[in-house]
Amino acid sequence: MKFSDKIKKPSGPNLISFFLAILVGLLLTAQFFSTKKVEEITGPEIQENQALEVSILAESNANLRQEVNSLRVQQQEYNEALQFRLGGTEVLETTLMRYQDASGINELSGSGVTVMIDGPVLDVHLLDLLNNLRNIGVQGVALNGQRLIYKSAITPDGLQIKLDGNVITPPYRFDAVGDPDLLVTSLEREGGLLEQLIQTFPEVEVAITKKDNLTLPAYQNEITFEYAQVAAD
């Protein structure tokens, strides 16, 4: 024993330590990777995001089902009109009104919110907020008294901001017709767009007010198609 210790020939206990060390190393690595893998798949962020997508899809599908139902009702009304050779115009009128309201060509009244933003914000902040409002769900939006439609554009113009070609100046006021409670809750959400804006620009003042009755002006410009034609399905 003394002799082998001196020349450091692998002894029984040393060999055992050696293999034990390998085993511990292997187990440590296996443990580390398996824990990491499980965390990767089940991380709270990923689950949260999946849950969020499920809720968005659930809402979207519910709205789509509603649209299917309303189209079926329309279909039946037309069928009856055609069968009894009368009516029909009422259904046409109702549908027309609905699309005119959606287009922004008419004034629109209803409950909603007003969002005031005072301070040196950029065009992109207004664009993001508009996108945010559309995401929450609004029937119509106006910015500084101008009605916004599908092709409204917010662009920088030197140090100024232009909306559909017209210069707009602070304070910026969004009037949005939609569910006031839902709008306020969503807009004031922690970590939401407005909170981020205030954190980035402490000098910017934001005020959200519920409104029982808002009236949005009609879109002022003409909507024409010069290059686009209706395609056959």
Partner 1 sequence: MKTEPKKRSKSLVYPLIYLAIGVVVGGFIAVQIVTTGSLARSTNPIQPVLELGETIEEMRTDQKDLKDEIKNLRAEVEVQQDLVETRRATSKELNTELDDFETIVGLRPMQGQGIVVTMDDGEYEGLKDRNDFKNDAIIHSTDILDVVNMLWVAGAEAIAINDERVVGTTSINCIVNTILVNESHVGTPLEIRAIGDSEELARFINDPGRLTDLHSRQREYNLVIETTEAGDIQIPAFTGTYEI
Task: Considering only residues 161 through 180, tell me which ones interact with partner 1, judged by CB under 8 A.
Answer: 178
Member of 4, 11, 47, 185 binding partner 1 (CB under 8 A): 47
In the complex, the smallest distance separating the C-beta of residue 125 from partner 1, rounded to whole angstroms, is: 11
With CB under 8 A as the contact rule, the residue among 4, 15, 18, 61 that binds partner 1 is 61
Q: Are 65 and 73 in contact (CB under 8 A)?
A: no
**Cα 89 to Cα 82: distance, rounded to the nearest angstrom:** 11
Least CB distance from residue 199 to partner 1, whole Å? Answer: 14
Packing angle of the helix pair 123-136, 180-187 (nearest 10 deg): 130
Residue ranges in 73-102 that form contacts with partner 1 under rule CB under 8 A: 74-75, 78-79, 81-82, 85, 88-89, 91-93, 95-96, 98-100, 102
CB of 91 to partner 1, least distance (A): 8
Q: Is beta strand 205-216 parallel, antiparallel or unpaired with respect to 108-118?
A: antiparallel
Q: Which residue of 132, 143, 186, 206 would you call a contact of partner 1, by CB under 8 A? A: 132
Please, what is the minimum distance in Å from the beta carbon of residue 54 to partner 1? 6
Considering only residues 30, 145, 181, 210, which one is a binding residue for partner 1 as defined by CB under 8 A?
30
Distance CA 116, CA 158 (A): 23
229 binds partner 1 (CB under 8 A): yes
Q: Up-side HSE of residue 7: CA atoms within 13 Å toward CB?
A: 4
**How many Cβ atoms from other residues are within 10 Å of residue 73's Cβ?**
11
The minimum distance between CB 155 and partner 1, in angstroms, equals 5
Q: Is residue 111 at the binding interface for partner 1, with CB under 8 A as the rule?
A: no
Find out whether 183 and 136 touch, Cβ atoms under 8 Å: yes
Mark 181-220 with x for binding to partner 1 (rule: CB under 8 A) and - for no binding: ----------------------------------------
With CB under 8 A as the contact rule, the residue among 15, 18, 24, 109 that binds partner 1 is 24
Under rule CB under 8 A, residue 150 binds partner 1: yes
Q: Is 218 helix (H, G, I), strand (E, B) or coil?
A: coil
- Residue 109 bridge partners (DSSP): 215
Record the tokens describing residue 61, joined without a space.
């599908």
How big is the site for partner 1, counted in residues (CB under 8 A)?
89
Measuring CA to CA, which residue among 170, 171, 175 is closest to residue 211?
Answer: 175
Nearest Cα to Cα of residue 147 among 197, 102, 184: 102
14 binds partner 1 (CB under 8 A): no
